[in-house]
Amino acid sequence: MSRALTWLNNLSRLAVKPYLRRMSGPKWARLQLNWGARFLFHPPPQTVAVWREIGGAHCLWVTNRAQTHPPREGAVLLYLHGGGYVAGSPNTHKHLLARLARLTQLEVCAPNYRKAPEHPFPAAFDDALAAFHALVGQGFLPENIVIGGDSAGGGLALALLAHLNAHGVVPKAVFAFSPFTDATFSGASIARNAAVDPMLPPERHDLITDWYLAGYPPTDPRVSPLFAPWVVPLPPVFLQASEHEILTDDSVRMADVLRAAGGEVTLDLWPNVPHVWVYFTRVLPEAKEALGRVAQFVNAQFVDEIDKR
């Protein structure tokens, strides 16, 4: 474990986790995430980020080193950011999107989906689905669209996949960082890792049940893809999570469900790292390595395609 990771875990335990435990509304969560992204998490050089609306979806389009390493023609990464359905935006994740763009040679499209409590369920899902359809309308074939996300956005990516799966649509691949896949909070890791998770307090499930779901059943696949009726064919899926976060079993059980349905799933579990540690790629060597593994997974899908020709 690097010194930077030790420092981050200690800071999370002392500041982030207590703050989330007593947070009474989304306002300060949004302000702090926006402030941190603006002043601490800058995108790498040669990043181009442009807001563009497609099919009613307001999206941030991100490329990196496009002049020397142009993105793959006809392919795109649809990325859904995290933030518990109440905070965050493509801007707060711009540094991560730029690094994904650089490592995968994909242009990234990140929709600014609506947030709760102003826009409760299923607003975020509807916006994610609209963004996917808008990409198809722009000429991107489903089999050339990679879908990714982190935390709530990772669950949203899998919920979008569940919807596409029910309609026989197969995207190129899907990956998720520490995805939230079960709004019933029935995973054993919720209790097992309550004390060791340096960032997320398990008692704050009201962020989802009260602010986002607002009376909808927590088993709805649009928020809990774990309970979707999965069928083949499925694209390759990569799930990455910490062994010591409260959402560990959201990834473990999701992998089991997809494999039982005939899917090909890579489950990448890491010890001693916090929730969505790839967000800290600027300071954590563990984040850089983890992000590299996901990029290798994505790139392999395109290499395999070339080999088949």
Please say if 151 is a catalytic residue.
yes
Give me the catalytic one of 95, 224, 244, 245: 245
Active site residue 12: no
Q: What CA–CA distance (Å, rounded) separates 103 from 110?
A: 16
Out of 93, 95, 244, 275, the active site residue is: 275
* Catalytic residue chosen out of the listed positions 151, 178, 189, 242: 151
Beta strands 265-270; 145-150: pairing state: unpaired
Residue 289: active-site member: no
d(CA 161, CA 181): 12
Q: What are φ and ψ of residue 207, in 5° steps?
A: -60, -35
Just list the catalytic residues.
151, 245, 275
